[in-house]
Amino acid sequence: MKRLLVVFLVCFVMLMLVSGAFAQQAKPQVAKPCAGDVAKFCGDVKPGDGRITKCLKENKDQLSPECKTHIAKVEKAIKEVHKACEDDITMFCAGVQPGAGRVLKCLKEHKAELSSKCQEGITKAKEKKK
Give the tens place of pLDDT for each residue, 87-123. Answer: 999 999 999 887 666 777 888 899 999 999 999 988 8
For residues 23-47, give the mean pLDDT.
70
**Among candidate residues 121, 118, 126, 101, the one with its CA nearest the CA of residue 15:** 101
Stretch among 10-24, 29-43, 80-94, 111-125 having the lowest mean pLDDT: 10-24
pLDDT > 50? residue 27: no
pLDDT for 19 equals: 46
Q: Please give the residue that has the higher pLDDT: either 72 or 16.
A: 72
**Rounded Cα distance, 4 and 1, in Å:** 5
pLDDT > 50? residue 22: no
**Rounded Cα distance, 128 and 79, in Å:** 12
pLDDT > 90? residue 125: no
Q: What is the value of pTM for the model shown?
A: 0.63
Could you count the other beta carbons within 10 Å of the beta carbon of residue 68? 16
For residues 8-30, give the mean pLDDT.
43
**Rounded Cα distance, 33 and 126, in Å:** 15
Q: Which helix (H) or strand (E) holds 7?
A: helix 2-26
pLDDT > 80? residue 70: yes
Q: Please give the residue that has the higher pLDDT: either 25 or 59.
A: 59
Q: Please give the residue that has the higher pLDDT: either 14 or 91.
A: 91
Q: Please give the residue that has the higher pLDDT: either 10 or 123.
A: 123
